[in-house]
Chain A
Amino acid sequence: MSRRRHLLRYLTSRLALVPVMLWLIASLVFLLLRVAPGDPIDALLGLRAPPEARALLRQQLGLDQPLLVQYGRYLADLLHGQLGNSLTNNEPVTAVIGHSLPASLELGVVALLIAAVLGLAVGFSGIARPEGKTDLAGRLYGIGTYALPPFWAAMVVQLVFAVWLGWLPVGGRFPATVVPPAGSGFYLLDSLLAGNAQQFWGALRHLVLPASTLGLLLSGVFANALRLNLRRALDSDYVEAARSRGLSERRVVLRHALPNALLPVLTITGITVASLIGGALLIEVTYSWPGVAFRLQEAIGQRDYPVVQGIVVVVAALVVAVSVLVDLLVALLDPRVSF
């Protein structure tokens, strides 16, 4: 069988599993929410609403129905692409996700770019003199940024650059006094397309601290991955062969070792992207970034079942899609991968 057919079969088998995975995730989140103590009525009405008012609201929200009936409705709606309405304000869950997902994606993409540039630069910097000072500093950087607690790092960055120095905003996604750009929900892109410099700078200023913090925290993984894989590649036979043919060290590293060392980094990037789709919870909460993780955290606190279920299912679907895409990309780029 040709490699292309193998690849197609591999892709088909992966895609066939997607609905099963999504059903499992959807069912699990439905069940876990109902098993968790407290319910939306307690969260909405608080302490002392009379039992009659509680019963009435329970009935209005359809929570008085047997669990199986609720589950059946939920799955039926899901099959029709309907995620339901929020229990707190009746807003369609698709709209809630539509507002918050672009915020998370914008933050994630910029943070990933920062992480990749920073991480790869640090990972690459020590390669000329293994075990030298630069290499050691790079290793420490990798371990240090990976070990930093995100909430602590975010608060320190916030305190220094926003509170003490006053260079950048403390939190939020856009200046309070400026109208946000309309469009896709990606503020940088929308303001660029609209040609509105004030909106662009406003969005950029708010993005710098959360994206830099997240990028910094993720960059250690990239740095370490590149350093290790590049070292391994430089010690391999084909690199020795290239050197013995009289190629310059720069050419050996850039043309022969680096492409192979970057393949595992691509897998790491895929995993990181997948995790960032769901938002970086602690970063979003610390910087009041209205992304999907921030919204999910609020919805869990309010026991807003449809919002929690909707966000989890949509994010799971995106994570699965990205994961399949990355696997496919690696399989295409690396002839050694068998499937």
Chain B
Amino acid sequence: MTRRPLFRLALAALLPAVALLSGCQPPHPSGQLVVASKSSLASVDPVDVTTHAGLQLLSAIGDPLYSASADGQLKPHLATALPQISPDGLRARIPLRRDVLFHDGSRFDAAAMVFSLERFRSLAKLGYLLDDRISGVRASGPYELELQLKRPYSALPALLSSISLTPLSPKAYRQHQSKPLADRFVGTGPYRLVSSSPQKQTLLPFTRYWGPAPRNSGLHLVTLSNSTALFGALVSGEVDVLTSSGMDSDQQRALAQRAQQGRLVEGIGPAGEIGYLTLLSDRPPLNQPLLRQAVALSLNRELISQRVSYGIRAPLRSLVPPPLAGSEPPAWPAYNPTRARQLYKQAGYCQGKVFTLPLTFRSNVPADKLFALTWKAQLQRDLSDCVQLEITGVESTTAYRQLADGAFPMILFDWSADYPDPDIYLAPMLACSKAKGEQCLEGNAAAAGSFWSAPGLQAELEASERLSGPERLPLLRQLQQRTATAAAYIPVWQVAPRAWAQPQLRQPVFDGSGRLVLQALSIR
């Protein structure tokens, strides 16, 4: 046989094989949807879950006591009313729904809620969220929960809207009271978890759910490990819905453009993630407030937002992102090179002496690196006679470890809140249990790497935790104003979650915690 017929034979065998393989794409079972994201899931037990992907899954298979709507308003979910707080503010009673069943058919009641909260407190990696606020939990009636608070806390409903605190069936978790159950979940949510692996979870509607039934007949949550693959999977129609978490800005922009052209449907949620700079305020070179203020004025957020993320990471001049209370008006000053130059001059720079500003960024976070490079170029263009940026990359776990040692004069971080309340943004940066003048010796401000405090700041923070509604607003603004003046933190941008769906689907919607409402996904 000559070479040519051999080649033809090979081609003749290959082409039908390719055609067969490409034609054998299994159809989606009727009404079921495939939702893709970047993060894989090591465990579905709320005590283990710390990632966005894990919390997203829990929001579909679990129920919180309270839920936040997209505009930040809290409403009872498994609870039937807002907590009744005792006059001293240290005891909260929460009435619970009576018509709720767990996925295993057992009944939800106050005892089940106590079981779940106690289990979370003793096992959860995020157990400190609760331990910091709550000293005891008990069932004060078959359908009434009583919480003992360590101090008055007005954001209690927001805290209890955290999906990590979703109730679990005591019957199903009896053997796992003191150890996690990684691959099964028995809760009360609109979906039950049918199968789970790190790369894929299958959810089917829970037919005995107490609330509205999901608008689709099931979900397959899949993980693809990189942004290009996620983009390709949506564009090729392999997946129905894609969430933005962990996706590169280039691909997000391309998907947004496709949505504008009507080839996809885009949904945008409330921003829950902020990016900010922490400045080490208790030692040189940034222990001079004047210099820190100059740095704050040197940051061109609009330019950086465009260059780094095509505007997807929106400029932010507040530590509390909108629409949360206290986010408006922005407390931090806008970019002002003229005023910045004046301050650098007052600090002894600009006249032949250039201030070297050290910036550390997390080398494993692409947006952080782009931020550092862009800001460096922007300073070189606008203020090169006064300041130059010296950038260093470190891996994120190293940065977290060395932060409390005061290792970084200035570092870029991001922060996603566990529940929608200003306190969860402010307290982790400002709370200080032991301070000396403007230096925080012990507490969150030291752990956060700024070591900044101010006389009376802790008292104001605690007062803001006690107040709610319009009474709280002036205090929140004052707290932010003081922090902005000291410039120990500089907010940079906010990140709103996005999701894109195939054009035949309804627009994806988000709840107030920034999570995609999976049960609302459906074909038009």
Contacts and interface: CB of A to CB of B under 8 A. Distances in A.
Interface of A: 37-39, 42-53, 57, 86, 88-91, 99, 155, 158-159, 162-163, 165-179, 198, 201-202, 204-205, 208, 285-288, 290, 294, 298, 301-303
Contacts of A44: 50, 125
A50 B433 CA distance: 12
Nearest to A199: B26
Nearest to B278: A47
Nearest to A51: B447
B40 A298 contact: yes
Given A53-B131, A162-B236, A177-B28, 13 more contacts: A38-B396, A38-B400, A42-B400, A48-B444, A162-B232, A165-B22, A175-B25, A202-B26, A204-B21, A286-B229, A288-B223, A301-B364, A302-B42
Nearest to B34: A176
Nearest to B18: A167
Interface string B119-157: 000000111100110000000000000000000000000
Contacts of A287: 229
A63 B395 CA distance: 21
Q: Which of A46, A99, A208, A285 has the most CB of B within 10 A?
A: A46
Contact of B128 (A53, A158, A285): A53
B24 A88 contact: no
20 contacts: A42-B401, A45-B50, A47-B415, A50-B132, A51-B404, A88-B43, A89-B45, A91-B182, A158-B228, A163-B232, A167-B22, A168-B22, A171-B224, A176-B222, A177-B28, A201-B26, A202-B24, A204-B21, A290-B199, A294-B225
Contacts of A99: 197
A89 B403 contact: no
Nearest to B182: A89
Contacts of B28: 177
B336 interface: no
A159 B232 contact: yes
B224 A177 contact: no
A38 B24 contact: no
A335 B444 CA distance: 72
A302 B125 CA distance: 14
Interface centre among A86, A204, A290, A303 (most CB of B within 10 A): A290
A204 B17 CA distance: 11
A165 B232 CA distance: 11
A90 B447 contact: no
Interface centre among B26, B34, B444 (most CB of A within 10 A): B26
Contacts of B195: 179
A51 B27 CA distance: 51
Interface string B225-244: 11011011101111100000
Interface in B223-267: 223-226, 228-229, 231-233, 235-239
Contact of B397 (A39, A89, A166): A39
Main secondary structure of the interface of A (DSSP, over half): loop
B182 A172 contact: no
A162 B239 CA distance: 12
A326 B447 CA distance: 55
Nearest to B225: A288
Contacts of A49: 126, 128
B444 A163 contact: no
A288 B225 CA distance: 5
Nearest to B240: A176
Interface of B: 18, 21-22, 24-29, 32, 34, 40, 42-43, 45, 48, 50, 125-128, 131-132, 179-180, 182, 195, 197-200, 220, 222-226, 228-229, 231-233, 235-239, 364, 394-398, 400-401, 403-404, 413, 415, 428, 444, 447-448
A52 B128 contact: yes
A170 B227 CA distance: 11
Contacts of B40: 298
Contacts of B396: 38, 42
Contacts, number: 157
A185 to B, nearest CB: 12
A165 B180 CA distance: 44
Most buried by B among A178, A201, A302: A201
Given A38-B398, A201-B21, A290 B198 contact: yes
A48 B29 contact: no
A124 to B, nearest CB: 12
**6 nearest A-B pairs in the assembled complex, by CB-CB distance:** A38-B397, A89-B43, A167-B22, A53-B128, A37-B398, A163-B232
B220 A176 contact: yes
A53 B404 CA distance: 14
Interface centre among A43, A50, A99 (most CB of B within 10 A): A50
A177 B226 contact: no
Contacts of B220: 176-177
A285 B225 contact: yes
A170 B224 contact: yes
Contacts of B180: 89-90
Most A-side CB within 10 Å, residue of B236, B394, B415: B236
A168 B19 CA distance: 10
A283 to B, nearest CB: 11
B400 A288 contact: no
Contacts of A165: 22
B108 to A, nearest CB: 26
B229 A171 contact: yes
Nearest to A307: B42
Contact of B444 (A42, A50, A168): A50
A288 B226 contact: yes
Contact of A37 (B125, B127, B199, B395): B395
B43 A50 contact: no
Contact of A168 (B21, B197, B223): B21
B395 A167 contact: no
B236 A177 contact: no
A171 B225 contact: yes
Contacts of B239: 176
A84 to B, nearest CB: 15
A203 B32 CA distance: 20
Contact of B232 (A170, A175, A285): A170
Contacts of A169: 233, 238
B400 A47 contact: yes
A288 B24 contact: no
A177 B29 contact: yes
A162 B132 CA distance: 49
A89 B415 contact: no
B428 A201 contact: no
Nearest to A204: B21
Contacts of B32: 177
B229 A288 contact: yes
